[in-house]
Structure 1
């Protein structure tokens, strides 16, 4: 079997998957609350073993490495940098937890993006999407436009002497989260409220994107070169096989 061809093809495909993840990260380098993706690779068996034509461990010519393959893309949930905005509706969670917002169908989604605003119905909503921000009871938060309001360090809306706790929750495991948008997540498990002693919200601040443009650009250059190297190897193997076939036919 032309193992060099298979190795190069798998390498090119793996680097292509990584390029897609990096390109998406770069596109969202300025998206509030965005969490970057990382493509994970895993070594693979030789093509004969992959096609069940041989078994691993026999020590024969087919029992060699088969390069790498992209197995999945995972999200890096490390907190992004805080940026002071001076906008009273901008909130940032310090430490663990996610805000909850209501999608158009009523589904509660999780986000670290606290760039909120007050809509025409006096609801606190997620800017750009108009998804209502939920309180700890699962209801949309409404504000009185005639009265001043603020946010306590513990994550409660303060207005006219009343406290309305924001819904700050977390899944049983971060692995239960799947992306439902650039900075929105859907939890496969029922999210649980963050313990009161662990709730901390900072007003007038935003958690910015976790994607670092410089790092992502360097990764893109590295991945592009690896992809080009694999494609050149595919071309070289193709030329070698074509030359071999031509010589055999000429004989």
Structure 2
């Protein structure tokens, strides 16, 4: 079997999965708060090839000494190890809607071990624990509860649902919700020191491992942020860069495909022509 056969096949699979990821990014280019995924491609572990050999020692009995002859390293292909969201702040878009809220990162601590900058998230109610999102496209449902457009209840800083009498309210820079100039609640906003450890779910939601809760961002040391009513944070997908990456992935897939076809023709010739001559 030709060793390059598997290398070309794994290259095709990796580029196909990368293309699917980029396609999903493009589909969410206009989704508020969406964080573009990034792919990490990695080679399979290398193998060190050696062959058994022997050396003849000029003695009366013809002594033969076996030894290993190093051939070299062999890499068997590549795979897409993981996808990680890019938590870079997206641009703001003014909507004028009371229920639209944008989170604006100010000063965020940087993890000394990983070099990753922290981020803040709106807290919503999940089926088995809190969920977090940057999508501030909210609404007030028929029962007066503040929810996401997907129907998840927005929580206050104490973990309770936020119920309002009407959609006539104001949201201050510190997340306080004012009704008739009186504070009715304050948005629950969590702070993640390393957002890369969060688990990405559907509907623009993230969860912590074990459905744990994030620390309160209002009480986190060194965290400065603000909330802006009537604005939305746009997706941070760079459409032109994504299209370029999709074309690059497609060309790479096509190149691996041609290599695979060449191996296939060589194998066909070896099986049909060489086998027939030897027969």
Offset of residue 143 of structure 1: 1.1
Residue by residue, what CA displacement relative to the aligned partner does 1:57-80 show, whole Å, maximum 9, x if unpaired?
A: x88346233342221111111111
Identify the residue that residue 133 of structure 2 maps to in structure 1.
111
Q: 1 CA distance for matches of 2:162 and 2:16?
A: 44
Q: 1:59 to 1:213 in 2, by over 3 A?
A: farther
Q: 1 CA distance for matches of 2:155 and 2:147?
A: 9
Aligned residues of 2:98 and 2:168 also touching (Cα < 8 A): no
- Of 195, 200, 206, 2:218 maps to 195
Higher strand residue share: 2
Output aligned runs, 1:46-61, within 5 Å: 49=47, 60-61=70-71
**Structure 1 runs, 4 residues or longer, greater than 3 Å off:** 58-62
Aligned residues of 1:32 and 1:206 also touching (Cα < 8 A): yes
Q: 1:206 to 1:7 in 2, by over 3 A?
A: same
Identify the residue that residue 255 of structure 2 maps to in structure 1.
229
Q: 2 CA distance for matches of 1:164 and 1:248?
A: 81
Identify the residue that residue 35 of structure 1 maps to in structure 2.
35
Aligned residues of 2:198 and 2:208 also touching (Cα < 8 A): yes
Output aligned runs, 1:6-85, within 5 Å: 6-45=6-45, 49=47, 60-61=70-71, 63-85=73-95
Structure 2 stretches of 5 or more lacking a match?
Answer: 52-67, 106-118
Q: 2 CA distance for matches of 1:106 and 1:84?
A: 33
Aligned residues of 2:189 and 2:218 also touching (Cα < 8 A): no
Q: CA RMSD in A?
A: 2.3
Q: 1 CA distance for matches of 2:224 and 2:143?
A: 31
Highest Rg: 1 or 2?
2
